[in-house]
Amino acid sequence: MDVMPKWADVVLIPVISLVLAAALSAIVILAIGESPWEALKIMVQGALGSTYGWGYTLYYATNFVFTGLAVAIAFHARMFNIGGEGQAALGGLGVALVCLYIPWPHWSLALLGATAGAALFGAAWAIIPAVLQAKRGSHIVITTIMFNFIAAAFLNYLLVGALKPAGSMEPATGKFPDATFLPSFQDMFSTADNPLFRGAPANVTFFVAIAACVVIWALIWRTRLGYELRAFGHSETAAKYAGISPTKIIVISMAISGALAGMMAINNVMGEAERLVLNAVEGAGFIGIAVALMGRSHPFGVFLAAILFGFLYQGGAELALWTSIPRELIVVIQALVILFTGALDNMVRMPLERIFLARRRKAARATTLTAAE
C-alpha cells in the first residue's frame, strides 16, 4: 500500500518544501540586515497590490507557465529537458521571423502565425537532442545543456549580423510592424475613466498560456498519446510489451516540450519587447524546472507555481527598487525550491511517511482493541 494519502503527496510535500525555502530565504534577508516581514509586505504590495503589479506578475507567470509545462510534459516521459532556455531562444527567433517577414493584416492572425513559428522552432531545437537520445543513447541532460549554449551563440551571431537593421548599433532586430502588436491587459480591460494595468506588459498571451494548460492536461490524462507517454515514463519494458515505440515517445514528448518552451516567445518577444533582443529569455527556461517540480508536473500545479514565481519576480523587482535587497534574491528562492522539491524530496518525504505510518498503526491498533472489546 501507499504509505501516504494522495493529498499529502500532492499538497503537503510541496507546501512543506515551500515553507522550508521561504524560511531559509528569510534567514538570508535577516543576515543582510533587512526585515523579512517588511520585505514580504513590499513584495505583496508591489506584486499584488495594484492592477499594475498584477500586470507584471501575470506577465512573468505567462512565461513560466510555458517553460514549466515544457519541463513537466518531459518529466512524464521520464525525460529531463534542461534545454528550455535554448528552445525558448529559438522560439523567439521563430516569432521574429514570422512577425518581420510576413505582412499580417491583424494581430489575431499574427498571433496564430507567431505561435506556430515559436512552437516549430522550439520543437526543432528539442528534437535534435531527442533523436540523439533515442538513436545514439546520448544523455539528454548533457545534450540539452550544450544546445542552450549553441542556441545562445547562434542568436548572438544572427542579432549582430543578418537580423540587425542596417545602421543600428544594438544587437537586436528592428521593431515588429504595428499590426503584430498584441493587445495588452491595459488595452483589454481599461475604460476611459478607469485605467487598469497601466504600462504593465501582461497581454493576451496569458490566455494562450491558460489554454495551453488545459490542452496539456487533456493531452496527458485524456489522450492515447498521453496514456502511452506516461506508460513509457513508468516502465520502458512494459511499454515495449504494449507496442509503444520508445523512439516515438522520446521524440514526440521532447518535441512538445520544446514547442511549449518556444511558445514562451509570443509573450516576451511579441507581446512585450515587440522585437527580438539578445538574451530575451532571461533564465525563464530554467525557472520552468522549479515550476514543474513545485507543481508536481500537473498543469494545474504548474499554473499555480507559475503564478507564485510570477509574484516572486515582480515582488523581487519591487524589493530591489525600495530596499537594498537585489533582484537576485529571487534566484536564491528559486534555487531553494528546486533543492527541496527536487533533490531533497526524500528529506521531506521520509519523516512524513514515518508520521503517516505511525498514525495508521495507531488507528489499526485502535480498531483491533475495539474489536476485542
Partner 1 sequence: MTTTTTPSAAPAIELKGISKSFGPVQANKDISIRVMPGTIHGIIGENGAGKSTLMSILYGFYRADAGEIWVAGKKVEIPDSQAAIAAGIGMVFQHFKLVETFTVLENIVLGAEDSAMLRPSLARARRELKALADEYELNVDPDALVSDIGVGMQQRVEILKALYRRADILILDEPTGVLTPAEADHLFRILENLRREGKTIILITHKLREIMEITDTVSVMRRGQMTATVKTAETSPAALAELMVGRKVLLRVNKTPAQPGAVILDVADLNVTDDKGVHRLKGVSLQVRAGEVLGIAGVAGNGQSELLEVLGGYARATGRVTMNGRPIDLTGRSSDGQSRRRDGIAHVPEDRQAEGLIMDYAAWENIAFGYQNDARFRRGPLMDHAAMMQDTVDKMGRFDVRPLDPKLAAKNFSGGNQQKIVLAREIERNPDLLLIGQPTRGVDIGAIEFIHQQIIALRDQGKAILLVSVELEEILALSDRIAVMFDGHMMGERDPATTNEKELGMLMAGMTGDPGNVTVTEIERNLAHAGTGTKV
Partner 2 sequence: MDLLTLLQLLDSTLRLATPLLLACLAGLFSERAGIFDIGLEGKMLASAFLSAAIAFTTGSVWIGLLAGVGASLLLSAIHGVASITFRGNQLISGVAINFLAAGLTVVIAQSWFAEGGRTPQLAGAARFNPITLPFANELRDVPVLGPIYYELISGHTALVYVALLIVPLSWWVLYSTRFGLRLRAVGENPAAVDTAGISVIGLRFTAVAICGVLCGLAGAYLATALQAGFTKDMSAGRGYIALAALIFAKWKPWPCLWATLLFGFLQALALRPDLITSTLGFSVQTQLLDALPYILTVVILAGFVGKAIPPRAGGEPYIKER
User: Applying CB under 8 A, which residues contact partner 1?
Assistant: 1-2, 218, 222-224, 227-228, 230-231, 234-235, 237-238, 240-245
Q: Name the minimum Å distance from CB 346 to partner 2.
A: 4
| Residue pair 294/14 in contact by the 8 Å Cβ criterion | yes
Q: Name the nearest CA neighbour of 204 among 102, 62, 54.
A: 62
Instruction: Tell me the sheet residues that pair with 184.
Output: 203
- The CB density around residue 162, as the number of other CB atoms within 10 Å, is 8
Residue 237 binds which of partner 1, partner 2, none (CB < 5-8 A, kind-dependent): partner 1
The three-class DSSP label of residue 283 is coil
Binding-residue pattern over the window 37 to 76 for partner 2, x denoting contact by CB under 8 A: ----------------------------------------
Look-up of cell digits 494548460: 213
**Which residue among 26, 44, 116, 150 contacts partner 2 (CB under 8 A)?**
150
Regarding 107 and contact with partner 2 (CB under 8 A), the answer is no
347 binds partner 2 (CB under 8 A): yes
Handedness of CA 160, 165, 171, 173 (dihedral sign): negative
Residue 17, Cβ density class (10 Å: 0-12 exposed, 13-18 middle, ≥19 buried):
buried
| 253 grid coordinates | 514528448
From the number of C-beta atoms within 10 Å of its C-beta (0-12, 13-18, 19+), residue 73 rates as buried
Comparing CB distances to partner 1, the nearer of 105 and 243 is: 243
> In the set 27, 153, 242, 363, which binds partner 2 (CB under 8 A)?
153
275 vs 349, which CB is nearer to partner 1? 349
Q: What is the distance between the alpha carbons of residues 68 and 245, in angstroms, rounded to a whole number?
A: 26
In the complex with partner 1, which residue's Cβ is closer, 278 or 350? 350
Binding of partner 2 at residue 196 (CB under 8 A)? Answer: no
Binding footprint of partner 2 on the chain (CB under 8 A): 28, 32-33, 80, 82, 132, 136-139, 141-143, 145-147, 149-150, 152-154, 156-157, 161, 286, 289, 293, 324-326, 328-336, 338-339, 342-347, 350
